[in-house]
Amino acid sequence: MGTEMVMVHEVPFPPQIITSKPLSLLGQGITDIEIHFLQVKFTAIGVYLDPSDVKTHLVNWKGKTGKDLADDDDFFDALASAEMEKVIRVVVIKEIKGAQYGVQLENSVRDRLAAEDKYEEEEETELEKVVGFFQSKYFKANSIITYHFSAKDGICEIGFETEGKEEEKLKVKNANVVGMMQRWYLSGSRGVSPSTIVSLADELSTLLT
């Protein structure tokens, strides 16, 4: 029996992804910009978590409303820091060079690490690997970037799929870089997609009630 896809701004997302266990789509949104009163959408985003992990690790926020959580950067910091598996699936809406995407990621991660005095040679080398992974790629519409964050060992596997090519993967093993990559998408008021933060806050508020 086929599983019905969830439409995120007309982009289909599976309601569940199986990794070491099933993870459910608990947050969704887009990255976009307004140019001359027109909304230009760049990517659609889905955040996958295990609901039971959420209840275990984020119990301190039980009973808070979606709005409370959306406005609480400490909550999203706790989510990013929590030792639980997470998958962030990013689908390209407006095509872009991989190098442009890589530079956006690099700038965000580097600035966040520098602000916490954690940007050393090891972090720089690992971040260069990530930028290099995206450098030569062209993100056609419907290309998929997947970030699979492991529960405990500070590792992230990045996957890239585009039409007509086999999926390519890169393992990122520097825990500081991995942590800030999570925060690029999951850091409340500083996240790259406010709509994803609001959606996730609403869904997690319901779960924690």
pTM to 2 decimal places: 0.95
The letter for the amino acid at 127 is L
Q: What letter does residue 2 receive in the DSSP assignment? A: P
Per-residue pLDDT at 121 exceeds 80: yes
Pairing of β 11-13 and β 22-35: unpaired
Q: Extract the tokens encoding 186.
A: 């999951």
Residue 33: the pLDDT is 87
Mean pLDDT in residue range 79-96: 96
Q: Cα dist. 131→27, 45, 75, 126 in Å?
A: 26, 20, 29, 9
Rounded Cα distance between 97 and 32, Å, is 16
Express each pLDDT in 100-116 by its tens digit: 999 999 999 999 999 99
**Residue 1's pLDDT band (boundaries 50, 70, 90)?**
very low
Q: Cα dist. 171→38, 114, 160 in Å?
A: 37, 22, 12
Q: Extract the tokens encoding 119.
A: 């940007």
Express each pLDDT in 4-19 by its tens digit: 899 999 999 999 999 9
Residue 61: the pLDDT is 95
Q: What is the mean pLDDT of the chain?
A: 94
Q: Which residues fall within 8 angstroms of residue 117, CB to CB, at 6 or more apart?
A: none
Residue 15: the pLDDT is 97
Mean pLDDT in residue range 44-65: 96
Rounded Cα distance between 151 and 23, Å, is 12
Mean pLDDT in residue range 34-58: 94
Residue 152: the pLDDT is 86
Rounded Cα distance between 148 and 139, Å, is 19
Residue 130: the pLDDT is 97
